[in-house]
Amino acid sequence: MRLLSRKATCNSHGQDSSYFLGWQEYEKNPFDEITNPKGIIQMGLAENQLSFDLLESWLTKNPDAAGFKSEGESIFRQLALFQDYHGFPAFKNAFVEFMSEIRGNKVSFDPSHLVLTAGATSANETLMFCLAEPGEAFLLPTPYYPGFDRDLKWRTGVEIVPIQCTSSNAFQITEAALLDAYQEAQNRNLRVKGVLVTNPSNPLGTTMTRNELNLLVSFIEAKGIHLISDEIYSGTVFSSPDFVSVMEILKARNYENTDVWNRVHLVNSLSKDLGLPGFRVGAIYSNDDMVVSAATKMSSFGLVSSQTQYLLSAMLSDKKFTKKYIFENQKRLRQRHRMLVSGLEKAGIKCLNSNAGLFCWVDMRHLLKSNTFEAEMELWKNIVYDVKLNISPGSSCHCTEPGWFRVCFANMSEETLELAMQRLKAFVTEYSSTVLGQNMSSSHQSIKNSRRRSITKWVFRLSFDDGRDREPDQR
């Protein structure tokens, strides 16, 4: 008799992905500038640690919120008791206003359409449960966040069909790619329930263009399916072009209160914009009342604590603080991004032009021994085990082209980033000479072999032609 469920015994969680394996290696030997200076530097973690001082300063200036007090009186007992899982009205109001502020107040949000969840992971999975049955599919543009293989599929039974994007147009979504993915799903007898995108993109670090967003809206309208826009990096846009939410596109097309309006859903979080992943604050925003109702019921399995809601409602309601935070945080991200790009350039490495996020999409194709994913994994292992930098290989993000890597830059000090770039530069210098030397030697040998084959063929042809010319005489 089986004592455990199939879910407990199967290996479909995705934990064996190189994305997670790199984390495991880091945890065995984590870098510390004092206690373990030769350890692995974590560059596979998309955390924003650049603006903690702003948050800590606000806490110091607002001891009542941090101490769970209201007008000087403790409300600890009130917060310690059970609260309705619909969420604190004050927090939901502050949350949607913060969402609007990040989007330049070009769109507004109704707090009654917001569902609080324990992080964006829970929000995405909850939407899968609300919108699809096991065995149905969502289309995702590649490359995409490796965790989606776990978040969207593991418990829900929903399938992912990739929308294949390439470097030829900076990995932007095209109509042809959308149609190909839709056809691929049909070939696999999968019913497509929607498209899920991350905007800004993880791992590309780019914002979606208006053309892409309009294309997506037109596509889901034509196919009668859903669109989920995961916008958890919306507050990390540090340079032009500006961030455009899909809600802004719907508004521009006068789609309010239409069927399409009800089939577009947002995922949001404070993990990236405020750098608070440990607080586990995520949200679903949907214009569909049935989705909101179902998601709210499901949220009872992953609530945001009352203490967290109270503290953050006070913080986000401080408009002077949020305005300063958004501006300063984006400025710091821009500076740190430049530092990474400069360090990569010194190592002879380029990356995709990006304007958002906590990472860069780095092009190391020239360092591959061959244009294969096996060569990519060999290079990745060298970087993790020898250089001691944990970065994420493109294959873990389902990139179709070997040699791309996601490298994070906001979860460490400037000094640690400088050390990481020094390590990488030293490695590339040695590795390139070795690889190029091998390739040149192989190329020279190939040329020699080609010449030998050519000479052999030439000699053989001369002999053959000479014999053929004499053949009539022999007759």
Query: Residue 149: inside a domain, yes or no?
Result: yes
Full pLDDT tens readout for the chain, 475 residues: 578 878 777 766 666 677 778 878 999 999 999 999 999 999 999 999 999 999 999 999 999 888 888 878 888 888 778 777 788 999 999 999 999 999 999 999 999 999 999 999 999 999 999 999 999 999 999 999 999 999 999 999 999 999 999 999 999 999 999 999 999 999 999 999 999 999 999 999 999 999 999 999 999 999 999 999 999 999 999 999 999 999 999 999 999 989 999 999 999 999 999 999 989 999 999 999 999 999 999 998 888 898 999 999 999 999 999 999 999 999 999 999 999 999 999 999 999 999 999 999 999 999 999 999 999 999 999 999 999 999 999 999 999 999 999 999 999 999 999 999 999 999 999 887 776 566 555 545 554 555 555 444 443 343 434 443 333 333 3
- One domain, residues 23 and 115: no
Residue 145 annotated as catalytic: yes
Dist CA 420 CA 172 (whole Å)? 30
- One domain, residues 421 and 298: no
Residue 448 annotated as catalytic: no
- One domain, residues 19 and 56: no
- One domain, residues 59 and 135: yes
Domain count, the chain: 2
With a CB cutoff of 8 Å and minimum separation 6, the contacts of 207 are 199, 200, 201, 237, 241, 242, 243, 244, 355, 356
Name the residue range of residue 177's domain: 52-322
pLDDT at residue 470, rounded to an integer: 36
Residue 232 annotated as catalytic: yes
Domain-ending residue, one of 322, 343, 368 = 322
pLDDT at residue 453, rounded to an integer: 52
Domain-ending residue, one of 322, 346, 379 = 322
**Site of tokens 């846009």:** 237
From 228, 232, 284, 349, the catalytic residue: 232
- One domain, residues 305 and 390: no
With a CB cutoff of 8 Å and minimum separation 6, the contacts of 126 are 115, 117, 284, 295, 298, 299
pLDDT at residue 1, rounded to an integer: 55
Domain-ending residue, one of 292, 322, 352 = 322
Query: Residue 471: inside a domain, yes or no?
Result: no
For residue 230, what is the domain's CATH number? 3.40.640.10
- One domain, residues 304 and 368: no
Rg of the chain on CA atoms, in Å: 27
Dist CA 376 CA 364 (whole Å)? 9
- One domain, residues 77 and 102: yes
Query: Residue 448: inside a domain, yes or no?
Result: no
From 19, 26, 144, 145, the catalytic residue: 145
Output the pTM of the full model: 0.88
For residue 349, what is the domain's CATH number? 3.90.1150.10
Which residue type occupies 154?
A: W
- One domain, residues 179 and 113: yes
Dist CA 282 CA 436 (whole Å)? 47
393 contacts 142 by C-beta, under 8 angstroms: no
Query: Residue 91: inside a domain, yes or no?
Result: yes
Query: Residue 458: inside a domain, yes or no?
Result: no
- One domain, residues 144 and 234: yes
**3-state secondary structure string, the chain?**
CCCCCHHHHCCCCCCCCHHHHHHHHHHHCECECCCECCCEEECCCCCCCCCHHHHHHHHHHCHHHHCCEECCEECHHHHHCCCCCCCCHHHHHHHHHHHHHHCCCCCCCCHHHEEEECCHHHHHHHHHHHHCCCCCEEEEECCCCCCHHHHCCCCCCCEEEEECCCHHHCCCCCHHHHHHHHHHHHHCCCCEEEEEEECCCCCCCCCCCHHHHHHHHHHHHHHCCEEEEECCCHHHCCCCCCCCCHHHHHHHCCCCCCHHHHCEEEEEECCCCCCCHHHCCEEEEECCHHHHHHHHHHHHHCCCCHHHHHHHHHHHCCHHHHHHHHHHHHHHHHHHHHHHHHHHHHCCCEECCCCCCCEEEEECHHHCCCCCHHHHHHHHHHHHHHHCEECEEHHHHCCCCCCEEEEECCCCCHHHHHHHHHHHHHHHHHHHHHHHHHHHHHHHHHHHHHHHHHHHHHHHHHHHHHHHHHHHHHC
Estimate to the nearest angstrom the gap between the alpha carbon of 129 and the chain centroid: 21
Which residue type occupies 129?
A: F
Residue 297 annotated as catalytic: no
pLDDT at residue 449, rounded to an integer: 55
From 40, 272, 285, 326, the catalytic residue: 272
Query: Residue 345: inside a domain, yes or no?
Result: yes
- One domain, residues 227 and 336: no
- One domain, residues 338 and 349: yes
Query: Residue 86: inside a domain, yes or no?
Result: yes
- One domain, residues 25 and 154: no
Query: Residue 455: inside a domain, yes or no?
Result: no
Q: Return the closest-CA partner of residue 413 out of 339, 327, 349, 329.
A: 339
From 230, 273, 288, 363, the catalytic residue: 230
